[in-house]
Structure 1
Amino acid sequence: MQSHKTYTVEEALKKMEWYCSYQERCHKEVTQKLYGMHMIPDAIDHIVVKLMQDNFLNEERYAKAFVSGKFRIKKWGKQRLTRELKQKDIGKTLITMALQTISDQEYLETFHTLAEKKAENIRESNSLKNKKKLADYLFYRGWESHLVYDKVNELF
Structure 2
Amino acid sequence: MYKKTDKHISTQAALSKVQFICSKQEKCCSDIRKKLQDWNISMDDQDEIIESLLEDKFIDESRFTNFYVRDKYRFNKWGRKKISYHLKHKQIPESIINEALDQINDEEYRENLQDILQSKLRSLKDDDHYQLKTKLYRFAQSRGFESQLALNLIDDLLSDLNESPGFD
Q: Partner residue of 2:28?
A: 26
Q: Partner residue of 2:56?
A: 54
Task: Kindly tell me the number of residue pairs found equivalent between the two proteins.
Answer: 155
Deviation at 1:3, TM superposition (A): 6.1
Alignment TM-score, normalising by the size of structure 1: 0.94
| Secondary structure of 2:75's aligned partner | helix
2:38 is aligned, of 33, 36, 39, to 36
Q: Partner residue of 2:164?
A: none
Which consecutive segments of 4 or more residues in structure 1 shift more than 3 A? none
**Within 1, Cα distance between the matches of 2:5 and 2:155?**
60
1:129 is aligned, of 128, 131, 137, to 131
Deviation at 1:126, TM superposition (A): 1.9
Deviation at 1:22, TM superposition (A): 2.1
1:72-83 mapped onto 2 (5 Å cutoff) = 72-83=74-85
**Within 2, Cα distance between the matches of 1:119 and 1:94?**
35
Q: Which has the larger radius of gyration?
A: 2
Q: Partner residue of 2:105?
A: 103
Q: Partner residue of 1:150?
A: 152
1:4 is aligned, of 3, 6, 17, to 6
- CA offset digits 1:25-79 (Å, max 9, x no partner): 1111110110110000111011000111111111000110100000000111111
The unaligned stretches of length 5 or more in structure 1 are none
- CA offset digits 1:70-120 (Å, max 9, x no partner): 000011111111111111111111001110221112211211111111111
Aligned in 2, Cα 1:3/1:127: closer, same or farther, shift over 3 Å?
closer
| Secondary structure of 1:74's aligned partner | coil
Please tell me the root mean square deviation across aligned C-alpha atoms, in Å.
Answer: 1.4
2:120 is aligned, of 118, 125, 129, to 118
